[in-house]
Structure 1
Amino acid sequence: MLALLHTSQAHVLTFDRLRSEEAPTLTLYHIVAEHLLDDARRLGVPAVAEQVAQQVGLAAEAGARAVLCTCSTIGALAEQAAATAGIPVLRVDRPMAAAAVAAGPRITVLAALASTLAPTTALIEQEAARAGRSVTVSARVICGAWDRFEAGDLDGYLDRIAAALGEVTDADVIVLAQASMAPAAERNATTVPVLASPRLGLRAAAAL
């Protein structure tokens, strides 16, 4: 059984669909804790470290063999909790970051939520150091996108992301910082490769 720690209910159906395509025999155990992202935005990411560790611990107690954290904002905290939980923990965007580093030195990160920028950029730099590669990371928040997501306007949310993708011309690869942004990759006409985290993350977690 693989536990998934989400901060949005929207991810449940996404990862159930990907499980059917990537690892149909894998059992998923979904944990939705929306308050973790709310508290991280309001109080700062370090303030929710204990709460994240508790959720990872509960997943281990429930019988999970590994945990996949689908929230980029708290992903680093989830990985840190692996030591006390006693099971592997993977943040969903780590495989994507490794793929971005392999794609080329000029990496553009697009985020719908400001709190995701610093963790995603740091992760890419970490993966670049691990691979012994030099990269230049540029990052920006897509104005108004998260407001659309919170309002339940998924089409408006994805349209804003797709428009932002079309504006990037000077990168070797574009990284979508949040799992919820993934469908926008199918709506844009950019010639720059676009990486999203859900499929790559689930594939790597299933391998654990």
Structure 2
Amino acid sequence: MVTPTLALLHTSPVHVPVFEALRDQDHPGLALRHLVHADLLARARAEGPDAVADGIQELLERAVAEGASAVLCTCSTIGAVAEDRAAAVGVPVVRVDRPMAAAAVAAGRAVAVVATLESTLGPTRALVEEEAARAGRPVDVTTVLVDGAWERFEAGDADGHVRLIAEAVDALDGVDSVVLAQASMADAADRVTLPVPVVASPRLGLSAAVERCGVGVKS
């Protein structure tokens, strides 16, 4: 019996240990293959996500040729582009933030999308609205860009990065749920005191990809 392999397309190497740890906790024994391409995010930020579509498809095709049963894209900026290539490459391509968006919509009408990169706001807002339409639920989406947090992340200041995000979330008012739009923001959920669901993508996204990979999910 062939063991399914899940490929993960990252735009930062910091995501590798995060998803390795989640695999060990929730899906032990699952084979992961990490594809790290920071250049995709840099170009998508400069020229728009569609500018990297051909490069993404080449990477997906290579992952499938090397045995991937499914691919999880962990970058919210390029997630929609990657997801759209699933039919062309012949395996499920899961964007890490889709399950998170669905969870946020289920929590109530007023959803705040919080990001540290401006390029993430548009795609994530569109995703939340798409999931609301799929669920037949009304939704009001607001977006928040956390100034200075991405610079802290790039500088390796994890605590400062998380602190700025948590402060921005705790300053929100009148929301039913909060979406932490990027996988890199997940640790801030533990620092927030706002009494509404604050959802992050890594664990939910990995579980969804595992289901599509055909290996089941540990309860």
TM-score (norm 2): 0.93
Q: Using the alignment, how far apart are the partners of 2:6 and 2:124 within structure 1?
A: 23
Aligned equivalent of 2:155: 151
CA distance in 1, matches of 2:149, 2:161: 5
Show structure 1 runs of 5+ residues with no match. none
For residues 51-91 of structure 1, give each alpha carbon's deviation from its aligned partner in whole angstroms, at most 9, with x where no partner exists: 11111111101100000000000000111111111000000
Which residue in the other structure is 1:21 paired with?
25
> Is the 1:169–1:192 contact (alpha carbons within 8 Å) kept by the matching residues of 2?
no
Equivalent in the alignment of 1:186: 190
1:169 CA displacement: 2.3
Say which of 160, 164, 170 aligns to 1:160. 164
CA displacement at 1:46 relative to structure 2: 1.0
Structure 1 runs (4+) deviating above 6 angstroms are none
Is 1:195 matched with 2:196? Answer: no
1:51 aligns with 2:55: yes
Q: Which runs of 5+ in 2 are unaligned?
A: 213-219
Provide the secondary structure at the position in 2 that maps to 1:5.
strand
* 3-state SS of 2:68 partner: coil
Q: Supply the AA of the counterpart residue of 2:87.
A: A
2:217 corresponds to: none
CA distance in structure 2 between the aligned counterparts of 1:170 and 1:8, rounded to whole angstroms: 33
If the length of structure 1 is used for normalisation, what is the TM-score?
0.98
Q: How far does the alpha carbon of each residue in 1:137-183 deviate from its partner, in whole angstroms, 9 at most, with x for none?
A: 00010011111111111111111001111111210000000000000
Q: Deviations over 1:7-60 (max 9, x none)?
A: 000000000000011111210000000000000011111111111111111110
Conserved 8 A contact 2:97-2:205: yes
Task: Say which of 64, 69, 81 aligns to 1:65.
Answer: 69
Q: Percent identity?
A: 57
Matched, 1:82 2:89: no
